[in-house]
Amino acid sequence: MTSLQNPAGAEPGVTNPPVRRFKDPAVQPVAATLGELRERIDTLDAQIVQLLAQRALCVRDATRFKRDAFQVRAPERQAEVFRRVRQLAEQHADAFPGLPDIVEASYRTLVAGFVAAEGQLFEQTESIET
């Protein structure tokens, strides 16, 4: 009995078959078990973190082109980044309608962290203008 395998209040089992289905037959399954889905999610997270580390190195190097704290913040560029990633996510919004909001909110958090770090890195630089 499902309620014995998975009592209320317990986390879902990772090897059990699905217990629900989408009413819309166009929604295709990605994997047969929750365990498989979580493996895919873990692999994607590793890739995302690797890409974020590469992005961080670009942000660090951007510091060499800034003269002051306003240029570190570069608010117009930030707005452009948020617009761009939102537009990219909108291309997938048929499959996942909330994605543009999720992506934009994530980027607002990410870029705030990157800008704060860039501000600290700026203190480790010196002008080479004569």
Ligand X SMILES: C=C(O[C@@H]1C=C(C(=O)O)C=C[C@H]1O)C(=O)O
Q: Which is nearer to ligand X, 27 or 79 (CB)?
A: 79
Q: Which is nearer to ligand X, 33 or 78 (CB)?
A: 78
Give the binding site for ligand X (CB under 6 A).
59, 62, 73-74, 77-78, 81, 111, 114-115, 118
Q: Least distance to ligand X from the beta carbon of 52, Å?
A: 10
Q: Which is nearer to ligand X, 19 or 102 (CB)?
A: 102
φ/ψ region of 90 (left if φ > 0, alpha if ψ in -120 to 50, else beta) reads alpha
Q: Which is nearer to ligand X, 38 or 64 (CB)?
A: 64
Residue type, 11: E
Choose among 59, 18, 2: nearest CA to 10: 2
Q: Least distance to ligand X from the beta carbon of 100, Å?
A: 18
Q: Least distance to ligand X from the beta carbon of 102, Å?
A: 18
Structure tokens given for 127: 């002008």
The conformation of residue 13, written as its DSSP 8-state character, comes to P
Distance, CA of 126 to chain centre: 33
**C-alpha–C-alpha distance, residues 24 and 53, integer Å:** 38
Residue type, 10: A
Q: Least distance to ligand X from the beta carbon of 130, Å?
A: 24
